[in-house]
Amino acid sequence: MRPFLGRRDRPFVPGGLTRNRFIGLTSAAMAGGLFAFPVRSIADEGSVDPRLTAYGLETYNGAYTGFSSPQQWTTILNDYERSWLSNRNKKLVLHFHGGLVSGEAGKQGATALLQPYLDTDVFPVFVIWHSGPAETFPSVLFDQGGPIASPHGMLNRGTVLGARIDERESTGTCHLGTDGVEERLRFLNVASGPDAWAFMKGEIDRSFDAGNPFDVFLTWLSDFTKRNRAFPKTTLIGHSAGAIYACRLIQEFDRTIRSYLDAPPALASARFDVMLMAAAVRFDLFNETLELGRISNFRLFTMADFFEVKDEVARDVVVSKLSNDFQLASQITAAYPHSLLYLISGVLEDAPDTPLVGMDRFWHDPRFSINPLIVATKNQLNSMYDGGESRYLVLSKTAPNSEEGYRTAATTHGDFDWSDPETVDSVTHVLKHGFRDGASSDIAYPYSDC
């Protein structure tokens, strides 16, 4: 039997780090999908582009906040319609950043991408949804007093850790020696991390509540199509938890259209282009979205598992979000050395090793080749593309000879949104030239075993 972290032969909490300190520092990592930006200072990025008020939507817990209001949102949508009437090929692009991103960080990311997007002659809208730990759920993150009795925590309390860990190894749902850590985190429901992840997904859902921005957007989109007898070319771009946002928008749009008794043909047949990066969306939600038939073109940029397992989310959280204590960061990394998507899959979702669309292991590891949900997803996408997955799946790092629109050099979760020039170039190439026939030239990196 392979040794694993967390048993008596290896302390769960590294030397010099108390359990309470470990809980407090790792709770941010467990809050959601979440890490959208790499280690860097906001001050290094310059000021926020004032044009964001004309190309941005700012929300908090699903409702308007900051520079956004119902009037500002309506103005943006009307501005797009005027642009479209002048050029009916003008694309509407909605960009959703990931979670655990403060309003300021979201604006900085949007500022970095605004001009590159405008240069492609699209009409971009950056959805800046406040999801920083200090903004949305401080009680979930930092209140460590009292018992934790969430459904997720109670679900796992009656299990025997050793049996669960052995079962994960035997079924191939193990995570390279961190199963002991993950099962203890699940058993203790440490820092209500699963609750925070559920809160973040709920924040997305609440944006579709009556009167909130995306309820308004869906009504406007329907009215636009009826007025103009055409559906605008719309591209949805989602990084990390933003991928959930993109899928939920498509689902809510479909539900809205199906509620009409007299939907015009342009509305009944409306479809979206979708680009996802390091997607933290579950395969079941993504597959349900695909089955609606509302996606016309799709491309996924994410890391090969070779890099995913080396992306130390714990180190990034400590250094970039909490302190510059690199020794402490090393101690945290010793406890959990893998990526954010591994953490979400292994700890924050309902079942250990929950399949996430942004994880290479579920696309290519032979252990998952017969998973019916993954097989169904692949079959649907392959039916859209004669060339198979090389047409829609781009794994970093790509080979130097990869075609334009199929390149990425991201090696951390946060690189994908705006820090990796090759990924940004690929996304903007697709926005400008469309989803042209082509294929990625992925390097065959080795896969990691348990």
DSSP per-residue codes, 48-74: PPTTHHHHEEEEETTEE-TT--HHHHH
Is the distance from CB of 442 to CB of 394 less than 8 angstroms?
A: yes
d(CA 312, CA 254): 38
Model pLDDT for residues 84-111, shown as the tens digit of each residue = 999 999 999 999 999 878 899 999 999 9
Is the distance from CB of 233 to CB of 273 less than 8 angstroms?
A: yes
pLDDT confidence band for 208 (50 / 70 / 90): very high
Model pLDDT for residues 210-219, shown as the tens digit of each residue = 999 999 999 9
Report the number of secondary-structure helices (H) and strands (E) in the chain. Answer: 21, 8
Is the distance from CB of 75 to CB of 104 less than 8 angstroms?
A: no
- pLDDT of residue 233 exceeding 50, the answer is yes
- pLDDT of residue 146 exceeding 70, the answer is no
SS3 384: helix
Tokens of 134: 């200090």
Q: What is the mean pLDDT of residues 370-384?
A: 94
Is the distance from CB of 111 to CB of 38 less than 8 angstroms?
A: no
Tokens of 16: 């010099």
d(CA 188, CA 378): 35
d(CA 257, CA 254): 5
Alpha-carbon dihedral 339, 183, 138, 324, rounded to 10 degrees: -40
d(CA 205, CA 422): 32
β-bridge partners, 282: 356
Rounded percentage of the chain residues whose pLDDT exceeds 90: 52
SS3 125: strand
Ramachandran area for residue 448 (φ above 0: left; ψ -120 to 50: alpha; else beta): beta
Handedness of CA 28, 29, 33, 37 (dihedral sign): positive
Q: What is the mean pLDDT of the chain?
A: 78
pTM over 0.85: no
Compute the residue count for the chain: 450
Count of alpha carbons within 13 angstroms of residue 376, beta-carbon side:
12
Tokens of 236: 């949805």
Is the distance from CB of 83 to CB of 21 less than 8 angstroms?
A: no
Q: What is the mean pLDDT of residues 6-13?
A: 29
d(CA 59, CA 416): 22
